[in-house]
């Protein structure tokens, strides 16, 4: 957006409506799948495709633990994710998370650069965002 005489005008509206933190969570779950599903394929499938109420609780716990681990890794080098139907606590390191998140972040970076180009904004112009009059 740019300030004009009447308020603000939209300079570019490119973006990724299908990209966010849940995509990073899904990448972590895919990593866990490739690492732990072979231990008990039936139990793992119940986590990914729950049918019973207990399976749904376990699946929700898995996704909640993945999100919590992701947040924990902003403060620690390693976090643990409980895999309820397997009875396993899986370690996830900060570097692993960064590697798993890289494709999602790369897509966001490409979209951000495209939006800036479409708006005619160069990197030096971004400093204006922090020096707006009246802010």
What is the second-level CATH architecture of the domain 20-102?
Alpha-Beta Complex (3.90)
Alpha carbons 93 and 7: distance in angstroms, whole number: 46
Does the structure show a pLDDT above 80 at 3?
A: no
- Note the pLDDT tens digit of each residue in 79-107: 999 999 999 999 999 999 999 999 998 98
- Note the pLDDT tens digit of each residue in 17-44: 777 789 999 999 999 999 999 999 999 9
Q: How confident is the model at residue 20, as a pLDDT? A: 78
Q: How confident is the model at residue 14, as a pLDDT? A: 63
Does the structure show a pLDDT above 70 at 129?
A: no
User: Of 103, 110, 107, 111, whose CA–CA distance to 28 is shortest?
Assistant: 103
Cα separation values, 61 from 5, 20, 48, 84, 135, Å: 51, 20, 11, 8, 42
Does the structure show a pLDDT above 70 at 13?
A: no
């Amino acid at each position: 957006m740019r300030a004009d005489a009447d308020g603000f005008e939209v300079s570019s509206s490119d973006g990724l409506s299908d990209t966010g933190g849940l995509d990073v969570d899904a990448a972590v779950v895919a990593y866990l799948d490739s690492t732990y599903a072979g231990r008990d394929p039936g139990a793992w499938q119940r986590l990914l495709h729950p049918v019973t109420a207990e399976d749904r609780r376990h699946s929700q716990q898995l996704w909640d633990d993945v999100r919590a681990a992701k947040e924990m890794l902003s403060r620690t080098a390693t976090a643990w994710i409980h895999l309820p139907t397997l009875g396993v606590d899986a370690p996830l390191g900060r570097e692993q998370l960064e590697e798993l998140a890289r494709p999602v972040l790369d897509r966001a970076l490409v979209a951000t650069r495209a939006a800036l180009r479409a708006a005619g904004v160069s990197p030096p112009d971004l400093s204006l965002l922090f020096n707006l009059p009246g802010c």
